[in-house]
Amino acid sequence: MLHGRDSVASEFAEELFESQASDDRTLPQIYTSFKWVFPNSGLLRSERVDMELSQWFDMWSTEKPHDEPELSRAGIEKAADRIVGLIKSEAESVPLNHFFLGGISQGAAIAIHSLHKSGLQIGGWMGFCTWLPLSDQFTSGKLTSTPIFLAHNKDDKVISKDDGELMKENLQQPGLDVTWRTYETGGHWLNEPKGIDDLVAFLATCSLSRTNQSVTEDL
């Protein structure tokens, strides 16, 4: 799970683990056997404000995240390479179809580019309050059939829900299973509790698909 811009892994993990489903359970309480991995982006100089920020790649504006794409390109490539390496490292002990990748905001943007770049079939991908940078070079046909979950709040003041909708339209191509959810409130975060409930339902669907695949392989 990848944190957003101007955040860090520990902060993201703490807040995510406090988020509750409608039965008041948190994600660690629901998924007691999960191993959670929260990488840190590290500091990267922002050209616009001329200072180092905690960010996966430099960008000109969150209000208009598609502006100045050349500013972001090299950083996206470097971060995606790093995450693909992490996936492959974790896959030495966890089967790829048991592996889930995701994040929030800029972290989710890196997560989708990492999935695109790797060509790996994993258990599922999930993104919250995010957008698709470098969409002109993003070919959904290069993605595997990994199930995708996208969620966005209509009152998000950081990344517009419209940018999330554009990402959804880019991804909704034949062969891709994209679940899109929007919520009235929640700001630049996961909606509670409905958004957590929907995430749990998505993961249950992924688990069922994985079980059916295993049965087919056994036959």
Domain count, the chain: 1
Q: How far apart are alpha carbons 124 and 102 in whole angstroms?
A: 8
What is the helix (H) or strand (E) element at residue 54, kind and residue range?
Answer: strand 51-54
Host domain of residue 46: 9-218
How much is the pLDDT for 211?
52
Q: How far apart are alpha carbons 190 and 31 in whole angstroms?
A: 17
How much is the pLDDT for 207?
77
Helices (H), 91-185: 106-118, 161-171
**Mean of pLDDT values over 119-138:** 92
How much is the pLDDT for 26?
98
- pLDDT value at 149 more than 90: yes
How much is the pLDDT for 141?
65
187 in a structural domain: yes
Q: How far apart are alpha carbons 42 and 75 in whole angstroms?
A: 12
Q: With pLDDT > 90 as the criterion, what percentage of the chain qualifies? A: 84
Q: How far apart are alpha carbons 41 and 9 in whole angstroms?
A: 8
- pLDDT value at 218 more than 60: no
198 in a structural domain: yes
What residue ranges in 129-213 does DSSP mark as E strands? 148-153, 178-183
CB atoms within 10 A of CB 139: 10
pLDDT digits (tens, 9 = 90+) for 191-215: 999 999 999 999 999 976 655 444 3
How much is the pLDDT for 217?
38
60 in a structural domain: yes
How much is the pLDDT for 208?
67
How much is the pLDDT for 173?
80
Q: pTM of the full predicted structure?
A: 0.92
191 in a structural domain: yes
CATH of the domain at 97: 3.40.50.1820
133 in a structural domain: yes
How much is the pLDDT for 122?
95
Decide: 183 and 98 in contact? Cβ < 8 Å.
Answer: no
List Cα–Cα distances, 193 to 85, 178, 183, in angstroms.
33, 21, 11
How much is the pLDDT for 216?
33
pLDDT digits (tens, 9 = 90+) for 156-181: 999 999 999 999 999 988 778 999 99
pLDDT digits (tens, 9 = 90+) for 63-104: 899 999 999 999 999 999 999 999 999 999 999 999 999 999
3 in a structural domain: no
- pLDDT value at 129 more than 80: yes
1 in a structural domain: no
- pLDDT value at 1 more than 70: yes
Strongest mean pLDDT among 31-35, 133-137, 203-207: 31-35
Question: Quick one: tokens of 155?
Answer: 């009152």
4 in a structural domain: no
